[in-house]
Amino acid sequence: MTNNEPKLTKKQIAIIETATELFAEKGYAGTSTNEIAHKASVSEGTIFKHFKSKKGLLMAIVSPMTMKLFAPMIKKDLDKVLDQEFEYFQDLVRAMIDNRKAFIQNNLPMLRILIQEIPFHPELKEQFIEYIGKDIFEKIGQIIKYYQDKGQLVEMDQKTIIRTIASSILSYIVARYVLLPEADWDSEEIETERIVQILENGLVPKN
Amino acid sequence: MTNNEPKLTKKQIAIIETATELFAEKGYAGTSTNEIAHKASVSEGTIFKHFKSKKGLLMAIVSPMTMKLFAPMIKKDLDKVLDQEFEYFQDLVRAMIDNRKAFIQNNLPMLRILIQEIPFHPELKEQFIEYIGKDIFEKIGQIIKYYQDKGQLVEMDQKTIIRTIASSILSYIVARYVLLPEADWDSEEIETERIVQILENGLVPKN
Amino acid sequence: MTNNEPKLTKKQIAIIETATELFAEKGYAGTSTNEIAHKASVSEGTIFKHFKSKKGLLMAIVSPMTMKLFAPMIKKDLDKVLDQEFEYFQDLVRAMIDNRKAFIQNNLPMLRILIQEIPFHPELKEQFIEYIGKDIFEKIGQIIKYYQDKGQLVEMDQKTIIRTIASSILSYIVARYVLLPEADWDSEEIETERIVQILENGLVPKN
Amino acid sequence: MTNNEPKLTKKQIAIIETATELFAEKGYAGTSTNEIAHKASVSEGTIFKHFKSKKGLLMAIVSPMTMKLFAPMIKKDLDKVLDQEFEYFQDLVRAMIDNRKAFIQNNLPMLRILIQEIPFHPELKEQFIEYIGKDIFEKIGQIIKYYQDKGQLVEMDQKTIIRTIASSILSYIVARYVLLPEADWDSEEIETERIVQILENGLVPKN
DNA sequence: AATGAATGAGGCTTCATTCAT
DNA sequence: TATGAATGAAGCCTCATTCAT
């Protein structure tokens, strides 16, 4: 949908992929451009030719353009979920958890970078918010309205509902896959069901 | 393993305080020992005399010994909440939110360090878990049982309940005070009430 | 040694002109080939195709071949002065000042390069001397003899006289236009007249 | 006369001396900090510890403080000349030429640096002017007035006279020792006498 | 116990130059 | 002929750490 094609060379892609991996693993400040160059089988000079500076590389990784590389995927598979018009809100939540879980597992490195580096690079925050906001928020807003109209969702303001759902899902996923990946967790189905149940009874009005 | 009272000199305290601040603000890898020395009005040599290495300084900051400095305070004010035997579970939650909020605001720097650096320093994770686990978990477990017996809490397993409560409270507080401190939030009372309400209706069994 | 007309392509001219400008402004060592390429709207490869190396480009700029591009102009307008047979030596000096001033102003960049880089590139010195010497010295020698015969010039040896005149004129012009272009100078006419007068009479008053 | 003692360590002095030499020989941009470190038997880190940056080192070399190291010498031996109250102005000029020649030969490197780098570092110009102006100009002004009153100097304005004398002396010395040190020059005495004579009488013979 | 000069390894970045297209 | 991606050597600079005082 974006007109100006990125046209990244093979080396550029190798650099971005390697850097993404390493930044995620060791942090931005803890990764040297030399290491990136080696692992990407590229000369250090090439990195700077393309990305101007180490920070430039970081920004490229999380830049809208790069995100757009993921965006189609993100949108498409989010749409798959959102467009299904589940009979019950709970089924939507269940589907979203699976969907988000898959996405996060696939994009763990970039998300790790975002989470770790946002506090140190104010520019990142803006990109993150813009990206999340623009592409995802609206759609979700519509869905929520749909279930509110159906009487399956409390009439709280949307921001709060989104935050509640998001924080329930994200805090579980982040804890499980980012912060404490080695801890012993119950099976995914059971964890999923718990979240659903809690969200259900908390957000669905009693009559 | 912790020997008797740690007797820190003024310089050592100055170093720890300065380093805590700077690590929190710019990250461990992003802070230089030189900067710490300057801001603490201490020579670089002194830092290494006392803490062996930069990592040693980090470990000292988050070490049980240092944490013990905070521990009495932590425990005491957590106990203040937990020992009150509120009539209703909701009141406990409300009190805990206020309590945690105060603690986090007071100890933001160290928490920031923990959150940021845990992924890069495996040793930290152990210290963190041991510290949090040992001192707090048990107590909370008792409390939960108390309210379960009173019929005010679902009969889920404790781990899940704790995670649910903790993630509700923490994800709100972390988001509000650590990740997005500048965003426009509703007033604290309203936010608190929402969390309480959601937790309440989600966790309290319907009859 | 100079073969027939040098046929420079448009790109080559663009490169030479841009490089001349930049070398003059920032020095040879302070200018990158990349910058030259950009400002000349040419790829870096092209520069090396044509000039072999960065040094080759410098040599091309100050080479006899390039200088010959200016030589006709130089000679012509110097001849204009020298062929006029002024009644008085002072008038010749006055005319030469104006003439040199114009030339220097028009060719400031290349002169700057010569002045700045001669100490670091021995080859340059030879080119410079050969070029200046061959084309100009002889002519001036004749002129001096002419005014000596007329009794308007002391009977010192020519080398000294040339050096005296040249240094008077050049040190003024270099100081005024190269070294301290922003300083506050008197009007050009007044400065010119002072040089003429001092050359004529010296500093000791005759009574 | 300056109160705050510089207190340069041995290494600092070694760095400054080596850098002065190398900058003079190969230019600022043409000299690497690595080379300076090696020749000064010092680690590269030490250079930056003391001088912050390569430019900082350049500024230190030509800074007032460093110049003050030379200033006593400069002033003292200039005073030797200026305080002698020569019977004739010509004798003063003669003495000044010898004196300046000695100074320049002794400080050739620093002067070379100044001459070469001033066009590229505007800050240098200010330091140069301030330094020359403050310490030397006034004194010379007095001397000139002395000889004007004695009727041995034309009644031109002082600035012009100073410039004339300075440019005569400097252009000879710079040409002889800086720009074209290898050329074949007449003996020093003869050259000196010529300058004196020209300054005295000019180029036009009186009959 | 404290200092701060000194270090050398390594970090980020620039550069002249080459080469496949 | 022209391009510009790619290179690797070298440049400037920072850093954690050591050591004589």
Find, among A165, A119, A174, the residue nearest to A143 by Cα.
A165
| Secondary-structure breakdown of chain A: helix, strand, coil percentages, each rounded to the nearest 5 | 75, 0, 25
A6 pLDDT band, cuts 50/70/90, is low
Superfamily holding B10-61: Homeodomain-like (1.10.10.60)
What is the average pLDDT across C139-148? 82
Highest mean pLDDT among A192-206, B89-103, C144-158: C144-158
pLDDT tier, C3 (very low <50, low <70, confident <90, very high otherwise):
very low
pLDDT bucket at D1, cuts 50 / 70 / 90: very low
The per-residue pLDDT for range D49-69, each reduced to its tens digit, is 999 999 999 999 887 655 655
Residue A197, CB, less than 7 Å from strand F?
Answer: no
Beta-carbon count within 10 A of C112 CB: 21
pLDDT at C52: 94
> Are B168 and A172 within 8 A, CB to CB?
no
Least trusted range by pLDDT, from A178-182, B176-180, C77-81, D69-73: D69-73
The pLDDT-based confidence of C64 (bands split at 50, 70, 90) is low
List all chains that touch chain C, counting a touch as 3 or more CB pairs closer than 8 Å.
D
pLDDT for A132 equals 61
pLDDT of D180: 64
Chain-centroid distance of CA A53 in Å reads 25
User: Closest residue by Cα to the C1' atom of nucleotide E2?
Assistant: B46
Burial class (CB in 10 A: 0-12, 13-18, 19+), A207: exposed
More confident: B36 or C128? B36
Domain definitions of chain B by residue range: 10-61, 63-203
Asked if the model's pLDDT at residue C164 lies above 60, the reply is yes
Residue A19 has pLDDT above 70, yes or no: yes
A176-191 confidence digits (pLDDT tens)? 766 666 666 777 787 7
Please, are residues D78 and D33 in contact by the beta-carbon 8 Å criterion?
Answer: no
% residues pLDDT > 70 (chain D): 77
Which residues of chain B does A156 touch, with a Cβ-Cβ cutoff of 8 Å?
194
State the pLDDT confidence band at D179, using cuts at 50, 70 and 90: low
If one compares B179 and A196, the residue with the highest pLDDT of the two is: A196
- On the question of pLDDT at B53 being above 80, the answer is yes
> What's the CA–C1' distance between A9 and F5, in Å?
9
Confidence check: pLDDT of B30 > 90: yes
Q: How far is B67 from chain A (nearest CA, A)?
A: 21
Confidence of residue A153 (pLDDT cuts 50, 70, 90): confident
Nearest nucleotide (CA of B34 to C1') = F15
Q: Which residue is nearest nucleotide E9, judged by alpha carbon to C1' distance?
A: D45
Q: What was the pLDDT predicted at B67?
A: 60
Which residue does chain C place closest to D89, by CA atoms?
A: C204
Among the partner-chain residues B26, B119, B200, the one whose CB lies closest to the CB of A116 is B119
Using CA atoms, how far apart are residues B66 and C97, in angstroms rounded to an integer? 80
Residues B179, A27: C-beta atoms closer than 8 Å? no
Residue B58 confidence (pLDDT): 93
D33 has pLDDT over 70: yes
| Contacts with B, A 19-48, CB within 8 Å | 26-27, 29-30
The set of strand E positions with any atom below 7 Å of a protein CB reads 1-20
- Per-residue pLDDT band at A35 (split at 50, 70, 90): very high
* Contact status, residue B31 vs residue B22, Cβ threshold 8 Å: yes
Residues 6+ apart with CB under 8 A from B167: A167, A168, A171, A172, A175
Q: Please give residues of chain D from 126 to 145 whose alpha-adjacent beta carbon (CB) lies under 7 Å from any atom of strand F.
A: none
Nearest to B206 among A125, A172, A206 (CB): A206
Q: How do residues D116-173 score in pLDDT, each as one tens digit?
A: 888 888 888 777 766 665 666 777 788 888 888 888 888 887 777 877 777 777 777 7
Does residue D102 sit at the C interface (CB-CB below 8 Å)?
no
Choose among D118, D160, D200: nearest Cβ to C204: D200
Distance of CA B116 to CAs A109, B27, C128, Å? 15, 7, 63
Asked if D201's CB is within 8 angstroms of C201's CB, the reply is yes
User: CATH second-level architecture of D1-60?
Assistant: Orthogonal Bundle (1.10)
User: Which of the two residues, C24 and A178, has the higher pLDDT score?
Assistant: C24
Contact between chains at A202 and B206 (C-beta distance less than 8 A): no
Q: Identify which of B10-24, B115-129, C159-173 has the greatest average pLDDT.
A: B10-24
Q: What is the pLDDT of residue A121?
A: 87
Structure tokens at A178: 């980012």
Percent of chain A whose pLDDT exceeds 90: 22
Stretch B15-20: mean pLDDT: 94
A55 to chain B, any CB pair closer than 8 A? The answer is no
Count Cβ atoms within 10 A of the Cβ of residue D195 and give its class: 0-12 exposed, 13-18 middle, 19 or more buried: buried
Contacts of C191 (CB under 8 A, 6+ apart): C172, C176, C185
Protein-to-nucleotide distance from the CA of B39 to the C1' of F16, whole angstroms = 17
Range from A42-46, A161-165, A172-176 that averages highest in pLDDT = A42-46
Q: Which residue did the predictor score with more confidence, A82 or C20?
A: C20
Q: Per CATH, is C1-62 categorized as 3.30.420.40?
A: no
Which comes out higher in pLDDT, residue D184 or D19? D19
**Max CA-CA distance within chain B?**
67
Position A1 pLDDT exceeds 50? no
Domain B63-203 has CATH 1.10.357: yes
Q: Which residue of D has its CA nearest to C163?
A: D172
Residue closest to A90 by CA, chosen among A147, A175, A163: A147
Classify D88 as helix, strand or coil: coil
Residues B82 and B162 sit within 8 Å (Cβ to Cβ) = no
Q: What is the pLDDT of residue B3?
A: 44
CB-CB contact of C25 with D122 (8 Å): no
Question: What is the CATH number that goes with domain C64-201?
Answer: 1.10.357
Q: Does domain D63-201 have CATH number 1.10.10?
A: no
- Answer whether A203 sits within 8 Å of B206, measured CB to CB: no
Give chain A positions within 8 Å (CB) of B171: 167, 170-171
Q: Which residue is nearest to nucleotide E15 (CA to C1')?
A: C32
Mean pLDDT, chain A, whole residue set: 77
Report percent pLDDT > 70 for chain C. 77
User: Which residue has its C-alpha nearest to nucleotide F6's C1'?
Assistant: A46
Cβ of residue C55 lies below 7 Å from strand F: no
D80-130 tens-digit pLDDT: 776 777 888 888 888 878 877 777 777 788 888 887 888 888 888 777 766
